[in-house]
Amino acid sequence: MDTSNGRDRFAQQLFSPLPDRYDRLAEVLSLGQNARWRRCMVDHVVAAAPGSVLDVASGTAGVALQLADRTGATVVGVDLTEPMLRQGKARVEQRGLDGTVHLVVGRGQQLPFPDGTFDGLTFTYLLRYVDDPFETLRELARVVKPGATVASLEFLAPPDPFWRFWWWGYTRLVLPAAGWLLGGEEWFRVGRFLGPNISRHYRRYPVWWTVRAWHRAGFHQVGVRQMSLGGGLVMWGTRSSA
């Protein structure tokens, strides 16, 4: 697979050392909120009762497994980082779901599926790692059927100044230190990267811009829910018929 894109290479370098501890540390470093955010995202897809779902930026298959459990759908998980997918495959096999959940290497910006393949789609922590969030949303819209539900989860910088102040301190000071203590140098790098990356992303692509981009990409009934005092952002929409 072509990995010449600089953001792709960076994401691979950042996440390749992490799969063994990714899920446990993600919960610790999000103050236990990651699972709650994921469930809220998946709720929107579950309500549509899809027969097939694509999970983009699937990582170690946590969302893919939840989708399989809660919908009974065939789930395909796509991720750029092969070590994360290997860990995900082991989890899928342990659960006896290797006939239901299928994991493949791929880029969210260039998915290896025909138009209108899936009944639903989820993507998690994706748009901060792509060159063009709008074009990525168009690509996600391309692979789902008209009427399909798409839902996403992303970190957010709290809009309220009071909570943003404490969020800033947590992401710049506590998060890198906690990453080092709990996961060593690899997680220190993630902790140091995360806060500044979130801030830069929303300076360039505020939530209102992202809502508009979903509409322009071919979705309607776009919804937004800020969670945990604005630390998490769940969005969802329906693929338009035209």
Residue 171: give its domain's CATH number.
3.40.50.150
Q: Is residue 39 a part of any domain in this protein?
A: yes
Query: Would residue 155 count as lying in a domain?
Result: yes
Q: List, in sequence order, the alpha helices (H) in 72-227.
A: 82-94, 133-142, 161-169, 175-183, 185-204, 207-217
1 inside domain: no
Q: What is the pLDDT of residue 181?
A: 76
* pLDDT tens for each residue of 25-34: 667 667 788 8
Residue 204 lies in a domain: yes
- Find, among 108, 104, 221, the residue nearest to 154 by Cα: 108
- Provide the terminal-to-terminal Cα distance of the chain, rounded to the nearest Å: 32
Model's pTM, two decimal places?
A: 0.90
Give a yes or no: residue 200 inside a domain.
yes
Phi and psi for 3 in degrees, rounded to 5? -120, 30
Q: 112 pLDDT exceeds 80?
A: yes
Greater pLDDT, 65 or 81: 65
Q: How far is CA 161 from the centre of its chain?
A: 26
The 3-state DSSP class for residue 98 equals coil
pLDDT digits (tens, 9 = 90+) for 210-231: 999 999 999 999 999 999 999 9
pLDDT at 17 over 90: no
Whether 66 maps to a domain, the answer reads: yes
Residue 63 included in any domain: yes
Confidence of residue 1 (pLDDT cuts 50, 70, 90): very low
Tokens found for residue 94: 């342990």
The residue-averaged pLDDT of 93-107 equals 95
**Average pLDDT for 42-60:** 96
Number of domains present in the structure of the chain: 1
- Residue 21: predicted pLDDT: 63
Give the pLDDT of residue 192. Answer: 78
Cα 191 from Cα 18, distance rounded (Å) = 12
* 145-163 pLDDT, tens digit each: 999 999 999 999 999 999 9
| Domain span including residue 162 | 6-239
